Structure 1
Amino acid sequence: MSKSSANRRLGPELSLATGIGKNDDVLVIGLTTADETDGDGTPSLVIGEGLFDDAVASAIDASLAAVGAQGSAGELTRLPAPAGLDVASVLAVGLGAPAKLDDAEHIRRQAGVAARSLAGVSTAVTTLSTADLTAAAEGFFLGAYRFDEFRTTPPEKAPLGSVRLLVPAVDRDTKAVLERAEAIARAVSIARDFVNTPPSHLYPDEFAARAKALGSAAGLKVEILDEVALEKGGYGGIIGVGKGSSRPPRLVRLTHSGGRKAKTVALVGKGITFDTGGISIKPAAGMENMTSDMGGAAAVIATTILAAELNVGVTVIATVPMAENMPSSTAQRPGDVLTQYGGKTVEVINTDAEGRLILADAIVRACEDDPDYLIDTATLTGAQMVALGTRTPGVMGTDEFRDRVAAISQAEGESGWPMPFPDELRPDLDSRVADLANVTNHRWGGMLSAGIYLREFVADGVQWAHIDIAGPAFNTGGPWGYTGKGGTGVPVRTIYALLEEIAAEG
């Protein structure tokens, strides 16, 4: 196994502080735009009360005014530190309107903007934590994330080394908040690492081995089914997709026990380690981004590990199918019929609609555990991006649970949006020769049709949500907020927040 999340530094070291120390290099502060009601038309510093004296604050304020800092969201202004501060420089990050101080995701993003600009800095200290400790901690950690494993020459500047988060007092409560925030950010980074690892180095067997190593270290129960066990067990979807590759498929099961009376949440994530489209091959342009087609599996594995690390009070059972979708003389063909786990037959009209085939097997297996809730997530359809863009997951499923998951996703800053299951789309999945076809005979509502296909495999009475993250799992554009290019770790924070909410219900 090559170097992975288990043995590498994922982000800066985070700690709490009540004041600026002599070893701090940069002070990071927030700057809001001018409040139209205050009459003076000047931006305002966001500084925790009592962290340093009024003279220092006034000096910083005057310097920022002199260089024309406006406090607009994401604006960065770096200044020499005034006399009286034991740091070399001050970095002001714009927060926008004062009302934005109540928006945790906004603080998280601006902390990420600051972190991305601090490469080469050993230790930063920040007042953004006085606005929202969790958001500031997660934003700095994720904004400083890098994936340099395959670079033979290290970047000129080292990643940000450590961040000290200023708070009025360091006590049990603030320590607990920081511990949780850092664990969540680390889990998101683990998911990012999985997605960013190229398919030459992360194929089904290696993916399963890494999941086992991380899961076992976190105290999870781990089970891996190889191609022989999958064939014997009747996992026709996973076998069908994987049989075109020389690297055979796997099914990984990870279990965190929340206690005897705890509710059970089943998690399923699509783990296509590379997707050529199979015989229905994709266009060459952009195909390299299909290294991200296991983003759902990455998120599910990372979230289950996080559940164990923070000992969330629900039982979490992850069922993660892994395969590589390749064209070859042994690959499944358009027109083939396979039998999904559980017995339903499927006519494979398009081999590039492979994710739903492996997910269906996993969903049926997950429902055998009699869960109270089931969440699956996948980079499933290009139609998700057509409908919602590259940053907004589509959330489908049973109505009440779908809306609950979407609301949590929005509260966590991952922006999920509830989507319907129109009745008229279901007949279009009828097959000429089998129980179902894996795609419709038209291009309309493709994201919704894929969700409707998965619904066919969810057991009656299970509250279910499907999160399509085709765009949100992988950033092909420029860095923004705490999100760099490549894997994003969506929807780890959404799923974990849901687990905590379910645990709190008892």
Structure 2
Amino acid sequence: MTALTLSTAGAATLRADVLVVGVARSPKGGKGLVVAPGAEAVDKAFDGKLATVLETLGASGSEGEVTKVPSPSGLKAPVVLAVGLGTAPEKDETYDAEALRRAAGVAARALSGVKKAAFALPIEAVEDAEAVAEGALLGAYAFTAYQSAKDGRGAKDAKGPLGEVALLGAKPRDKAYKAGAERAVALAEEINRARDLINTPPNDLYPESFAAIATAAGKEHGIKVQVLDEKALVKGGYGGILGVGQGSEHTPRLVKLAYTHPKAEKTLALVGKGITYDSGGISLKPAGHNETMKCDMSGAAAVFAAVVTAARLGLPVNVTGWLALAENMPSGSAVRPGDVLRMYSGKTVEVLNTDAEGRLVLADALTRASEENPDAIVDVATLTGAMVLALGNRTFGIMANDDAFRTAIHEIAEEVGEQSWPMPLPADLRKGMDSSTADIANMGERMGGGLVAGLFLKEFVGEGITWAHLDIAGPAFNEGGPFGYTPKGGTGSAVRTLVKLAERTAAGDLG
């Protein structure tokens, strides 16, 4: 993990391998490139012509743009890296936190293999410092665990992630800045752990091994962990989880992570879909749709990371995580279309499509979480391709049984830089899941499939409990090129939203 330090040194005097500064397009009505605050000393070393030099090299200040130039005399760092921030804010306004987060991520990724970089980006407040730190630590992420040794130098090769980020403009002796840096480190480390889990091949990450990882983390961070193995699931009547997992040699698990705080007045339950590999089961996925299905446990990874982050930050709120873990495989013992499962709630479900399996494991976990009567439940899942069709690859959908709660989560997600959109739960779509054999079918109308899945889950939430469902099928796994602080592969989508929700709940800001 990339190290983070807060420095009081000036940009011109700090010894580092690279000095990172921000540049932007002139505000509306202006022309040319402007040097962002924080880089005044660097601009002075260029005789006030840094913007001119960068423009000569083709820089425009556009978001995500990176330009490297040799340093002039007067700077300790031999290289200056200018990263684009987009359009500069108007007078008396400041740069958006997400713009700083993304710029820091781009810079950190461009500095792969560098030992130390000093970041002199615009920092006007603690929130800015935290955004830069968070973006840099997330942008420096690299998953190299399965790379073979190269040139005899080891699996991580000579060009590993950025070694250290020195944050200029922050105040290391200021308690608020120090706390912000600690939060950024804890959050980034747990998001990166979630990314590691998502990127781990399914022959190494399966329900039992995932449960073991959660158990070890619980011991490290004072979280109580309970693991229900196959025998316990059978005894408890968890027909949904068992049904999905019965076709695999890797038996399913339900993992409970319980972080408690002596001053907590509220309890938040988080439920994550943990399909460690999804072949579709008997309703087998077509070629081209199963190569990345190791990512179908991204919801469980997000819940796991959020609970551990809450514990590391010592938030005065109780947070319980439920990881519904199973591997969905076709075999002679696999659940078949037409089978009926008796769920933990006692309801029966006719399985019309074995590839609609996530809602089955979540249903059992939602019922179990409801038994503890939390103040709110949020489930997170890579649930439907329909949500990707509706919102694209970078936005997750939010459904809820309470409009105010749905709105609050949407606002929180936007605040922390995660793209989301509130979605409805139309009552008329429920009829499509009527079954002549069981209480409900696991499939309904094809059109609006993401909303149908949300309506199915709603059936298993305890009466009177506020609940929201996050369908992260789009942003959970990035099959394209990296952007901002988002890498290729597992992204850790929804972790920041869940952590901020826990913080808001702890502060009493949510009813």
Structure 1 residues 57 and 500, CA gap change in structure 2 (3 angstroms) = farther
Selected match of 1:157 from 156, 159, 176: 159
Structure 2 counterpart of 1:4: none
Instruction: Give TM-score scaled by structure 2 length.
Output: 0.93
Equivalent residues of 1:31, 1:92 under 8 A apart? yes
Structure 1 residues 218 and 333, CA gap change in structure 2 (3 angstroms) = same
- 1:63 positional shift: 2.4
Structure 2 counterpart of 1:7: none
Structure 1 residue 167 corresponds to structure 2 residue 169? yes
Query: Structure 2 counterpart of 1:485, which letter?
Result: K
Structure 2 counterpart of 1:45: 35
- 1:120 positional shift: 1.8
Structure 1 residue 147 corresponds to structure 2 residue 147? no
Q: Give the Cα separation in 2 of the matches to 1:435 and 1:445.
A: 21
Equivalent residues of 1:270, 1:355 under 8 A apart? yes
Deviations 1:167-199 (A, max 9, x none): 153322211111111111111111101100010
Selected match of 1:119 from 98, 104, 112: 112
Structure 1 counterpart of 2:101: 108
Structure 2 counterpart of 1:379: 382
Q: Give the 5 Å matches for 1:104-503.
A: 104-128=97-121, 130=123, 132-153=128-149, 154-167=156-169, 169-170=171-172, 171-259=174-262, 261-398=264-401, 399-440=403-444, 442-503=445-506
- 1:261 positional shift: 4.6
SS in 2 for 1:394: strand
Equivalent residues of 2:4, 2:185 under 8 A apart? yes
Structure 1 residues 35 and 401, CA gap change in structure 2 (3 angstroms) = closer
Structure 1 residue 91 corresponds to structure 2 residue 93? no
SS in 1 for 2:201: coil
SS in 1 for 2:167: strand
Which moves more between the two structures, 47-56 or 365-374?
47-56
Q: Give the Cα separation in 2 of the matches to 1:227 and 1:277.
A: 21
Q: Give the Cα separation in 1 of the matches to 2:177 and 2:427.
A: 49
Equivalent residues of 2:206, 2:276 under 8 A apart? yes
Structure 2 counterpart of 1:8: none
What percent of counterpart residues are identical? 52
Structure 1 unaligned blocks of 5 or more: 1-10
SS in 2 for 1:135: helix
Equivalent residues of 1:255, 1:318 under 8 A apart? yes
Q: Give the Cα separation in 2 of the matches to 1:23 and 1:80.
A: 15
Structure 1 residues 418 and 143, CA gap change in structure 2 (3 angstroms) = same
Equivalent residues of 1:338, 1:347 under 8 A apart? yes
RMSD: 1.6
SS in 2 for 1:328: coil
Equivalent residues of 2:16, 2:117 under 8 A apart? yes
- 1:61 positional shift: 3.4
Query: Structure 2 counterpart of 1:126, which letter?
Result: F
Structure 2 counterpart of 1:71: 61
Query: Structure 2 counterpart of 1:319, which letter?
Result: W
Q: Give the Cα separation in 1 of the matches to 2:59 and 2:335.
A: 60
Structure 1 residue 58 corresponds to structure 2 residue 54? no
Structure 1 counterpart of 2:153: none
Equivalent residues of 2:85, 2:100 under 8 A apart? yes
Equivalent residues of 1:60, 1:82 under 8 A apart? no
SS in 2 for 1:240: helix
SS in 2 for 1:99: coil
Q: Give the Cα separation in 2 of the matches to 1:447 and 1:191.
A: 24
Equivalent residues of 1:12, 1:141 under 8 A apart? yes
- 1:34 positional shift: 2.1
- 1:36 positional shift: 4.8
Q: Give the Cα separation in 1 of the matches to 2:377 and 2:243.
A: 24
Q: Give the Cα separation in 2 of the matches to 1:260 and 1:22.
A: 43
Provide the aligned length of Structure 1 versus Structure 2: 493
- 1:18 positional shift: 1.8
Query: Structure 1 counterpart of 2:494, which letter?
Result: P
Q: Give the Cα separation in 2 of the matches to 1:27 and 1:195.
A: 33
Q: Give the Cα separation in 1 of the matches to 2:422 and 2:291.
A: 29
Structure 1 counterpart of 2:19: 27
Which moves more between the two structures, 59-68 or 318-327?
59-68
- 1:59 positional shift: 4.6
Q: Give the Cα separation in 2 of the matches to 1:256 and 1:413.
A: 25
SS in 1 for 2:217: helix
Query: Structure 2 counterpart of 1:294, which letter?
Result: M
Equivalent residues of 2:68, 2:80 under 8 A apart? yes
- 1:339 positional shift: 0.7
Which moves more between the two structures, 225-234 or 181-190?
181-190
- 1:66 positional shift: 3.2
Q: Give the Cα separation in 1 of the matches to 2:288 and 2:36.
A: 46
SS in 2 for 1:450: helix
- 1:215 positional shift: 1.9
Greater than 4 Å deviation, 4+ residue runs: 49-53
Structure 1 residues 320 and 25, CA gap change in structure 2 (3 angstroms) = same
Equivalent residues of 1:199, 1:273 under 8 A apart? yes
Structure 1 residues 53 and 98, CA gap change in structure 2 (3 angstroms) = closer
Structure 1 residues 137 and 370, CA gap change in structure 2 (3 angstroms) = same
